[in-house]
């Protein structure tokens, strides 16, 4: 059964945002959730992480991936959480797979698109 109110954005089974769970985390305060999603959009910079990786600063890159992972968990962005965890693990092992970096990049962009839909739904 399809939920016509679900605007979470899925691609090949990936769920980019679980806005009902996210709302529950902020006691159903839609205004606060939208504020946090907007902050995520402006404060979380994939390009900075990519540059850090290219520069070989694995400690900083690991911290950046860890931050994205935590934000993704708190805002109920399950696919980004999963991808961030995988990337963080690879960075920690100093064995970063370029395919994982590309997959993370695609996931990040898809997550931003899903976040935009939720923000629009709640009038943010």
> Encoding tokens for residue 82?
């999963």
User: What pLDDT, on a 0 to 100 scale, did the predictor assign at position 8?
Assistant: 53
Q: For 58-76, how does the pLDDT look when each residue is reduced to its tens digit (9 = 90+)? A: 999 999 999 999 999 999 9
User: What pLDDT, on a 0 to 100 scale, did the predictor assign at position 5?
Assistant: 41
Give the CATH number of the domain where residue 62 resides. 1.20.120
The verdict on residue 2 lying in a domain is no
User: What pLDDT, on a 0 to 100 scale, did the predictor assign at position 98?
Assistant: 93
> Encoding tokens for residue 81?
């959480």
- Full residue range of the structural domain in which residue 90 is found: 14-121
The verdict on residue 111 lying in a domain is yes
Q: For 7-56, how does the pLDDT look when each residue is reduced to its tens digit (9 = 90+)? A: 455 555 679 999 999 999 999 999 999 999 999 998 877 888 889 999 99
Tally of structural domains, the chain: 1
In this predicted structure, the answer to whether residue 106 has a pLDDT above a threshold of 80 is yes
The verdict on residue 6 lying in a domain is no
| First-residue to last-residue Cα distance in the chain | 29
Could you give the CA distance from residue 37 to residue 17 in angstroms, rounded to a whole number? 10
Q: Looking at per-residue confidence, does 12 or 94 come out higher?
A: 94
The verdict on residue 90 lying in a domain is yes
Indicate the pairing of strand 10-11 with strand 14-15: antiparallel
């Amino acid at each position: 059964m399809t939920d016509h109110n679900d605007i979470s954005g899925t691609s090949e089974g990936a769920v980019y945002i679980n806005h009902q769970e996210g709302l529950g985390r902020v006691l159903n305060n839609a205004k606060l959730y939208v504020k946090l999603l907007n902050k995520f959009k402006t404060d979380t910079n994939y390009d900075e992480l990519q540059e850090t990786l290219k520069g070989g600063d694995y400690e900083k890159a690991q911290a950046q991936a860890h931050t994205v992972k935590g934000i993704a968990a708190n805002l109920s962005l399950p696919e980004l959480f999963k991808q961030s965890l995988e990337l963080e693990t690879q960075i920690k092992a100093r064995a970063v797979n370029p395919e994982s970096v590309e997959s993370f990049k695609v996931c990040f962009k898809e997550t931003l698109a899903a976040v935009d839909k939720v923000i629009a739904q709640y009038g943010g």
